[in-house]
Amino acid sequence: MSSATIVSLPDQSTARIPKTNFITKENGLLSWLLTGDHKRIAILYLISITFFFAIGGSLAGLIRLELLTPQSDLMATDTYNKVFTMHGVIMIFLFLVPSVPATLGNFLIPIMIGAKDLALPKVNLLSWYLYIAGGTLVLYTMMTGGVDTGWTFTTPLSTHYVNTNVLSTGLAIFIAGFSSIFTGLNFIVTIHKMRAPGMTWFRLPLFVWSNYAASILMVLGTPVLAIAIVLVALERTVGIGVFDPTKGGDPLLFQHLFWFYSHPAVYIMILPGMGVISEVISTFSRKRVFGYTAVAFSSVAIAVFGFFVWEHHMFIMGVSNYSTLVFSLLTMLVAVPSAIKIFNWSFTLYKGSITFETPMLYAFGFMGLFTIGGLTGVFLAATGTDIHLTETYFIVAHFHFVMVGGMLMAFLSGIHFWWPKMTGRMYPEKISQLAAVVTFIGFNLTFFPQFILGELGMPRRYASYPEEFQILNVFSTAGATVLGVGYLLPILYLTWSLKYGEIAGSNPWQATGLEWQIQSPPLTENFAEIPIVDHDAYDYEWLEKMELAKKQQEVSSVG
Amino acid sequence: MDHISPVLWQFLVKWMTNFALFPPEASKIAPQMDALYFFMVLVSLVGLTLVGLLIVGFSILYSKKRHPVAVQIEGSTLLEATWTIIPLGLFLIMFVWGSLIYFRIYTPPANAMNIYVVGKQWMWKAEHPGGQHEIDALHVPTGQPIQLTLISQDVFHSFSIPAFRVKREAIPGRYTSVWFEATEPGQYHLFCTQYCGTDHSHMIGTITVLTPEDYKKWLAESTSGMSLAQNGERLFASLSCNACHNGRPDARGPSLANVYNSKLRLANGQETIADEAYLRDAILNPSEHVTQGYAPIMPTYQGQVSEDGVISLVEYIKTLNSNYRVEQTLNTTGLLPESEPTSKSPSTPKAAPPAAKGTVTP
């Protein structure tokens, strides 16, 4: 295997983690809690989203355990409803939305464009505090009885018919929403204003492009969610009647507002993940991304079209038949840029020199699962089949293929890929390759049966179900167990590697990004001097020349 | 094998014998939707195989062992155009095909028999034109287009019959409709697929498809003696609607004879067709639906009539085709007020859902 790897580590007997870096610069809890350093904030985010992921994941475990048998026997239906609501709220608003942008994006975007920090460091810290405030409120809600509206808060159920903590959950999402608005704003300003000399738009790594597209969605979409939540709160407390038909309101209006954010939100979640995949595929096949411009613009196209497809969540809800034509067509169009990306990534492999380290395995997993997730999305975009498939487990499976199979795979790929940069140490390769394979198998076993369940008609959000659906549900629960192991492994061995991992050196993957040309972990100010960029992204020939020049310099200085 | 693990054995046998990839096709539209579904499955399989082959093939051909030095390639406009246009074309075919089926499912034919369905937490109530009521059940004949007119009395529900491939949201305050024509006698699942609170997963029922002869028998056995329209007539009288809507020239309210499906000019100048939805709104929210030439004096009946009652009233008004019928109603004021033996009292807003109601204990 040794010839089949690109990993080039420094001599472990002499190598040391650089004494001065962003982790060692200052000590003490306060130096972290009051930091303006984008890298430290990224680490804070990483710890907090992992914490919430663990909670959301445990809730998912409870759901699968309940669904092992047709009766609702593990918990009462009310409890079940609270569990899946919390699972949704935590995973979407506290894990998926901030996952890649707030951790990897925060850490990498300034470095990738050759800047010393984000444009607004204090706003960056503020957005972490808002996230924590939102997260704490969600925990408070959970401790004080939970909420059972589903993460979609459909009115009038959420406004008039449930007695649970709708208001505190709404407030939590409202606050966490501002956290993502500020992050998006920060990225947009930074990418526009702080690129290093020579770093033109078309020299930006694709990771930056995709985060830029996601930031636009965050800034334009999230306020609408905030408005929808405020209206729900007002309706619930003082009964203003915007959504109440007995007062002349329209209950469908809420869904229009909610999905106007929540559909683009899935692109907020997936686009940064696509950026990770571009970086990883290029690095491990030693080639520039096939059709850079097409991949960059497909991100922007997804962001633009993504705003005009929300009604596809409401095809069966008595909207005008003719309006469904428009939204179905636009939804078909938004599928095209995703197809372009998949094929461009595939052809990046063509005539490359491919190695199969863990990030690459996760990236392959992403491509396979995202392809299935995307294609099943077309089943739902076509209005005729949507009637039968919507609101069933087909939706659940489709959504998890895109979000878990896609986004979470991309997140894990990125975490492994940049782990040496963030911590200065390598993760253990063999066990992490095993974890990637286990995750892939467990994922398919969990969610593939759900497509068939959905086609058979099993509705989502059911605590009990007709007996003939049991067998597929047993498969799904068994898969969830495997998947759980797959997620537990990285948490364990990554923690282990903080102390015992091999010293990574500045560029273990021989990658081209600016982040790989500086020490790991980086200095607080990233660059000793601002780099001047004179080459495109993914220019491996430039990298070779640089390495050669460095060696010659060393030889001549020694000589 | 079965002596190693009887449970596992049982499980495997059950799986092998019961395995189904799609539900029974029991309506006229089902095979049509399945054709599109299997077309999409086919396209997906081809697409997935293609991506899989590319990844696996390139991984083998261009692994570092075999291909130590990468060849840099910028991209290829021709290739990129290919994989833009071919998926786009396929997606457009699916769009057109899907829309054709969608319009068919949501456009009921003129000769359809109309059955009203009211959803409430957590039950379905079906009302046949002959006055037959059913809870969490629906009997329909084969070979006859059935239109369902759905409404919810509280939150969103969704009426789903997987074997018919139809589903429609029941929305508070608004009629929605869907139709189907059953082809295979048998019993099929009815699900509420829109999350509606505590007992969402118990809001299920059975659709029974009967041959036309059996259906006639069933109708005769289940009749309550009063059709929907007759119920409506009693309600019309007991609410004293006929005090104003009596068809006389000096009446305070407009004549309701032949009003159904007629074109009305409203006090605010708008023109509208008096369909079921309009009639319902005009009863519950009259101040916004004043016919031109009349004073806005009609009180609202919001909260006084249940959705079932409104349905009966609408059905009655639909049968009024001459003033003669209204005159007759005038003389029925001695009748008892309408009683609704099967309907629950309308649930009060914000009432706590009873936690343990309907929970199946193991």
In this predicted model, what pLDDT tens digit does every residue of A432-452 receive, in sequence order?
999 999 999 999 999 999 999
- Between the two ends of chain B, the Cα-to-Cα distance in Å is 30
Question: Rounded to whole angstroms, what are the CA distances from A177 to A96, A155, A277, A557, B132?
Answer: 13, 20, 26, 54, 51
| B183 and B259, same domain (yes or no) | no
B323 CA: distance to closest CA in chain A (Å): 32
Percent of chain B exceeding pLDDT 90 equals: 49
**Is the model's pLDDT at B2 over the cut of 90?**
no
One-letter amino acid at A244 equals D
Cis status of the peptide bond prior to B122, with omega within 30 of 0: yes
Q: Is A131 helix (H, G, I), strand (E, B) or coil?
A: helix
| Contact assignment for B33 to A162 by CB distance below 8 Å | no
Look at phi and psi of residue A179 and say left if phi exceeds 0, alpha if psi is from -120 to 50, else beta.
alpha
pLDDT at position B334: 44
Nearest to A378 among B94, B176, B197 (CB): B94
pLDDT at position B327: 55
Give B35's contacts (C-beta < 8 A, 6+ positions apart).
Answer: none
| Contact assignment for A391 to B156 by CB distance below 8 Å | no
**Is the model's pLDDT at B186 over the cut of 60?**
yes
Nearest to A291 among B14, B71, B80 (CB): B80
A125 CA: distance to closest CA in chain B (Å): 38
Strand-pair partners of B174: B171
Looking at beta carbons, which residues of chain A come within 8 Å of B54? 343, 346-347, 349
| B218 and B114, same domain (yes or no) | yes
Q: Is A556 on the interface with B (CB under 8 A)?
A: no
Other C-beta atoms within 10 Å of A163: how many? 12
Contact B132, B115 (CB under 8 A): no
Q: Is B326 helix (H, G, I), strand (E, B) or coil?
A: helix
Question: Taking all residues of chain A, what is their mean pLDDT, rounded to a whole number?
Answer: 94
Q: At A79, list the tokens.
A: 């409890």
Q: Is A9 on the interface with B (CB under 8 A)?
A: no
Looking at beta carbons, which residues of chain B come within 8 Å of A78? 198, 353, 355
Looking at beta carbons, which residues of chain B come within 8 Å of A254? none
| Contact assignment for A287 to B73 by CB distance below 8 Å | yes
| Contact assignment for B99 to A328 by CB distance below 8 Å | yes
Give B185's contacts (C-beta < 8 A, 6+ positions apart).
Answer: B142, B209, B210, B211, B214
**Is the model's pLDDT at A1 over the cut of 60?**
no
Instruction: Please give the average per-residue pLDDT across B54-63, as a whole number.
Output: 95
Look at phi and psi of residue B131 and say left if phi exceeds 0, alpha if psi is from -120 to 50, else beta.
left
In this predicted model, what pLDDT tens digit does every residue of A400-411 receive, in sequence order?
999 999 999 999
| B217 and B242, same domain (yes or no) | no
Q: At A78, list the tokens.
A: 């009310």
Torsion of CA A64, A68, A73, A75, to 10 degrees: 0
**Is the model's pLDDT at A53 over the cut of 80?**
yes
Each residue of A41-54: b (16+ CB within 10 Å) or e?
Answer: bbbbbbebbbebbe
Contact B26, B206 (CB under 8 A): no
pLDDT category at B4 given cuts 50, 70, 90 is confident
> Which of B140, B114, B145 minimizes the C-alpha distance to B208?
B140
One-letter amino acid at A324 equals T
CA A195 to chain centre: 24
Point out the least confidently predicted range of A128-142, A144-158, B135-149, B214-228: B214-228
pLDDT category at B284 given cuts 50, 70, 90 is confident
Strand-pair partners of B113: B146
B338 CA: distance to closest CA in chain A (Å): 23
pLDDT at position A2: 42
Nearest to B23 among A328, A384, A456 (CB): A456
pLDDT at position B234: 86
Q: Is A392 on the interface with B (CB under 8 A)?
A: yes
Instruction: Please give the average per-residue pLDDT across A130-142, as a whole number.
Output: 96
A83 CA: distance to closest CA in chain B (Å): 12
In this predicted model, what pLDDT tens digit does every residue of B17-50 receive, in sequence order?
777 888 999 999 999 999 999 999 999 999 999 9
The position carrying tokens 């003696």 is B225
| Contact assignment for B97 to A292 by CB distance below 8 Å | no
**Is the model's pLDDT at A292 over the cut of 90?**
yes
Question: Taking all residues of chain B, what is their mean pLDDT, rounded to a whole number?
Answer: 85
Nearest to A77 among B95, B194, B359 (CB): B359
pLDDT at position B329: 56
Looking at beta carbons, which residues of chain A come within 8 Å of B285? 248
pLDDT category at B344 given cuts 50, 70, 90 is very low
pLDDT at position B333: 45
- Between the two ends of chain A, the Cα-to-Cα distance in Å is 35
Question: B63 is in which domain, residue-wise?
Answer: 21-223
Helical residues (DSSP H) of A382-469, grouped into ranges: 383-389, 393-400, 409-423, 429-456
Which 406-465 residues of chain A touch chain B by CB within 8 A?
452, 455-457, 459-465
Give dist(CA B23, CA B350) in Å, integer: 38
| B154 and B239, same domain (yes or no) | no
B4 CA: distance to closest CA in chain A (Å): 20
Number of domains forming the structure of chain B: 2
pLDDT at position B323: 59
Q: What sign for the dihedral angle of Cα A412, A417, A423, A425?
A: positive
pLDDT at position B1: 55
Instruction: Please give the average per-residue pLDDT across A308-326, as a whole number.
Output: 94
Contact B119, B156 (CB under 8 A): no
| Contact assignment for A457 to B23 by CB distance below 8 Å | yes
Into which CATH architecture does domain A23-558 fall?
Up-down Bundle (1.20)
pLDDT at position A326: 95
pLDDT at position B362: 37
| B182 and B296, same domain (yes or no) | no
Percent of chain A exceeding pLDDT 70 equals: 99
Residue B12 lies in a domain: no
| Contact assignment for B171 to A252 by CB distance below 8 Å | yes
Point out the least confidently predicted range of A509-523, B8-22, B252-266: B8-22
Percent of chain B exceeding pLDDT 70 equals: 88
Give the best residue of A293, A354, A542 to mutate against chain B (max B CB count within 10 A): A354
pLDDT at position A216: 95
Give the best residue of A343, A440, A444, A473 to mutate against chain B (max B CB count within 10 A): A343
Nearest to B97 among A335, A371, A382 (CB): A382
Residue B216 lies in a domain: yes
Looking at beta carbons, which residues of chain B come within 8 Å of A286? 69-70
Give dist(CA B192, CA B203) in Å, integer: 6
Q: Is A237 on the interface with B (CB under 8 A)?
A: no
| B153 and B250, same domain (yes or no) | no
Q: At B107, list the tokens.
A: 């456009």
Q: What is the CATH number of the domain that holds B107?
A: 2.60.40.420
**Is the model's pLDDT at A221 over the cut of 80?**
yes
Q: At A488, list the tokens.
A: 């537990």
Give dist(CA A359, CA B11) in Å, integer: 38
Residue B1 lies in a domain: no
Give dist(CA A365, CA A436) in Å, integer: 8
Instruction: Domain ranges for chain A, please list them.
Output: 23-558
Contact A5, A357 (CB under 8 A): yes
| Contact assignment for A468 to B18 by CB distance below 8 Å | yes
Contact A522, A21 (CB under 8 A): yes
Q: What is the CATH number of the domain that holds B268?
A: 1.10.760.10
Give the best residue of B41, B73, B92 to mutate against chain A (max A CB count within 10 A): B73
**Is the model's pLDDT at B171 over the cut of 70?**
yes
pLDDT at position B40: 96
**Is the model's pLDDT at B322 over the cut of 70?**
no
| Contact assignment for B63 to A378 by CB distance below 8 Å | no
Instruction: Please give the average per-residue pLDDT across A46-53, as a whole number.
Output: 96
Looking at beta carbons, which residues of chain B come within 8 Å of A375? 40, 43-44, 47-48
| B252 and B322, same domain (yes or no) | yes
| B212 and B147, same domain (yes or no) | yes
| B116 and B52, same domain (yes or no) | yes
Residue B347 lies in a domain: no
Contact B197, B351 (CB under 8 A): no
CA A440 to chain centre: 17
Cis status of the peptide bond prior to A264, with omega within 30 of 0: no
Residue B339 lies in a domain: no
Torsion of CA A125, A127, A130, A136, to 10 degrees: -80
